[in-house]
Amino acid sequence: MAVIALKAPDIEVTVVDMNAARIAEWNSDQLPVYEPGLDEVVRATRGRNLRFTTDVEGGIREADIIFVAVNTPTKTYGIGAGRAADLRYIEAVARTISRVAVGPKIIVEKSTIPVKTSETIKDIFAANGVGGNFQVLSNPEFLAEGTAVADLFSPDRVLIGGERTPEGEKAVETLASVYARWVPRDRIITTNLWSAELSKLVANAFLAQRISSINSISALCEATGADVDEVSRAIGRDSRVGPKFLKASVGFGGSCFQKDILNLVYLCEKFGLGDVAAYWESVVKMNDWQKRRFAAQIIGSLYNTAADKRVAILGFAFKKDTNDTRESAAISICRDLLAEQAHVVVYDPRVPASLIHSDVLGAGKRDARLTVAQTPYEAAEGAHVVAIVTEWDEFRSLDYARIFALMAKPALFFDGRNIVDLAALRRIGFRVHGIGKPNDA
Ligand code: UGA
């Protein structure tokens, strides 16, 4: 919304949320989300044509276009638990809109939702006697965290799904004209509602599938002496494959990939497509395996005895340039190490210590074996293993000779992101281990 406000100064953008503390943060100098470039965008627009307020009903009443961006977490109870999306917030918003809004209005699904959610929204409108005045569009978001602002400035595509009726087409065109202020027209794709909803899940499933595919091959590389980065480069040069999203890792994290794939799996099962469901579920299973494999390799390198040994984890966010830790591989790696009674010391340049504790142990819990360091050097002090889990740029250029000197010997180094020069580390004296590399440890 901040980027829309920046690129379309003639449009008044109001962001509403029931959560007063969150809105207060958006109105302060300390934004609740760390994203490169976002501070500047908010600073340029807030108070001009961008407003943050808790007046949800007022915001709905005044708007011509309403973007629904509530969360759609995985259901934790009842039918579809662990897979299906919990749509209670979407439904609550639809009910609020039908209660307070007077049409005509365009309602845009921005949240990632299962296919046919717009049916639910439309049904609630119709049952409350306001259906005819509202057009429902699907406009899924494809930005990635850490590059959100750049992605929004220059998206590969904007996708808008709407009803194939004259009113639907008109609503699609209205929304397209908002994006067209900065996005070239040929990048604005319009489809029917179901295609747009499904494309969002499928896009994430395909991206995650590439990571699981290359991660599966990383294990084979370690077994055979091939180098996974060389394999990625070789296959990525085929223009039909393409070079992006072929970086082997400790496993993908983030709030979207796993959730969206499980959602797709649930959808397939619901429609009786068991084999299709199993195919996509294997992407998540491979990812879980890769995360466990990394922790198991660390434990193996400690002569299968991690108890009371110190393991330094560098990076906790699910990727660099974000403070988001949802589904981060670091969480399961830390848990596996703690289960072996290791002392785990985490360093992350952006993630607060309280979040690291609650992610690994549960809200409000503490364990003396889990600590958080202020610098990578503090983390490395006395450690038997230093493991990179998030690819923060600063880890590329640490003083590794100093880290080596601080560590217990043999000094084991695990690069879960393949970002450092392992040969150089080997020369310092480390026993090194990269993902999909010929390894010493
Ligand atoms: C992902 C998609 O890339 C976005 O297009 C989508 O809009 C977003 O989900 C969403 O649905 O909201 P995001 O999760 O923010 O974006 O970040 P990604 O860059 O996709 O990274 C996801 C995970 O995959 C990270 O843990 C990352 O480290 C890992 N990854 C990525 C790899 O392990 N290897 C790669 O080659 C690329």
Confirm or reject: Cβ of 33 under 6 Å from ligand 1.
Answer: no
Output phi, psi for 123, to 5 deg: -65, -40
Give me the mean pLDDT over the 155-162 stretch: 98
Give the pLDDT of residue 83: 85
Give the pLDDT of residue 113: 82
Q: Name residue, tokens 């299906």.
A: 84
The token duo for 241 is: 């494959």
Indicate the pLDDT class of residue 423, thresholds 50, 70 and 90: very high
> Pairing mode, if any, of strands 385-388 and 310-314?
parallel
| Range(s) of the chain covered by CATH 3.40.50.720 | 2-201, 224-441
Per residue in 380-408, pLDDT (tens digit) is: 999 999 999 999 999 999 999 999 999 99
Please enumerate in sequence order all residues whose Cβ is within 8 A of that of 430, keeping only pairs 6 or more positions apart, or say none: 400, 404, 411, 412, 413
Give the pLDDT of residue 210: 98
Give the pLDDT of residue 240: 98
Per residue in 52-100, pLDDT (tens digit) is: 999 999 999 999 999 999 988 888 999 989 888 888 999 999 999 999 9
Confirm or reject: Cβ of 316 under 6 Å from ligand 1.
Answer: no
The atom number, within ligand 1, closest to the CA of 253 reads 26
The atom number, within ligand 1, closest to the CA of 320 reads 28
Torsion, Cα 282 286 288 293, to 10 degrees, reads: 160
Burial of residue 370 (number of CB atoms within 10 Å: 0-12, 13-18, 19+): buried
Helix ranges restricted to H, 145-236? 148-153, 166-179, 193-224, 228-236
CA angle 401, 407, 412 (to 5 degrees): 85
Indicate the pLDDT class of residue 377, thresholds 50, 70 and 90: very high
Å from CA of 368 to ligand 1 middle:
32
Give the pLDDT of residue 102: 86
Quote the DSSP letter at residue 347.
E
How many angstroms separate the CA atoms of 94 and 123, rounded? 9
Give me the mean pLDDT over the 168-179 stretch: 98
Give the pLDDT of residue 63: 97
Give me the mean pLDDT over the 125-140 stretch: 90
CA angle 8, 11, 17 (to 5 degrees): 110
Give the pLDDT of residue 131: 77
Residue percentage of the chain with pLDDT more than 70: 100
Q: Ligand 1, atom 23: nearest CA belongs to which residue?
A: 252
- 402: amino acid identity, one letter: R
- The helix or strand, by DSSP H or E, that contains position 377, with its residue range, turns out to be helix 376-380
Fold annotation for 2-201: Rossmann fold (3.40.50)
Confirm or reject: Cβ of 246 under 6 Å from ligand 1.
Answer: yes
8 Å CB contact between 51 and 338? no
How many angstroms separate the CA atoms of 84 and 77, rounded? 10
Q: Ligand 1, atom 20: nearest CA belongs to which residue?
A: 144
Q: Write down the pTM of the prediction.
A: 0.94
| Mean pLDDT estimate for the chain | 96
CATH class of 224-441: alpha beta
Å from CA of 87 to ligand 1 middle:
23
The atom number, within ligand 1, closest to the CA of 251 reads 33
For residue 104, whether the previous peptide bond is cis, meaning omega lies within 30 degrees of 0, is yes
Residue percentage of the chain with pLDDT more than 90: 90
Per residue in 80-89, pLDDT (tens digit) is: 898 888 889 9
Per residue in 176-227, pLDDT (tens digit) is: 999 999 999 999 999 999 999 999 999 999 999 999 999 999 999 999 999 9
Q: Name residue, tokens 């499904």.
A: 198
Indicate the pLDDT class of residue 441, thresholds 50, 70 and 90: low
Å from CA of 254 to ligand 1 middle:
7
Helix ranges restricted to H, 28-159? 38-45, 56-62, 88-100, 117-127, 148-153
pLDDT over 90 at 375, yes or no: yes
pLDDT over 80 at 417, yes or no: yes
How many angstroms separate the CA atoms of 86 and 108, rounded? 18
How many angstroms separate the CA atoms of 407 and 110, rounded? 48
Active-site residue, 221 included: no
Separation of CA 90 from chain center: 20
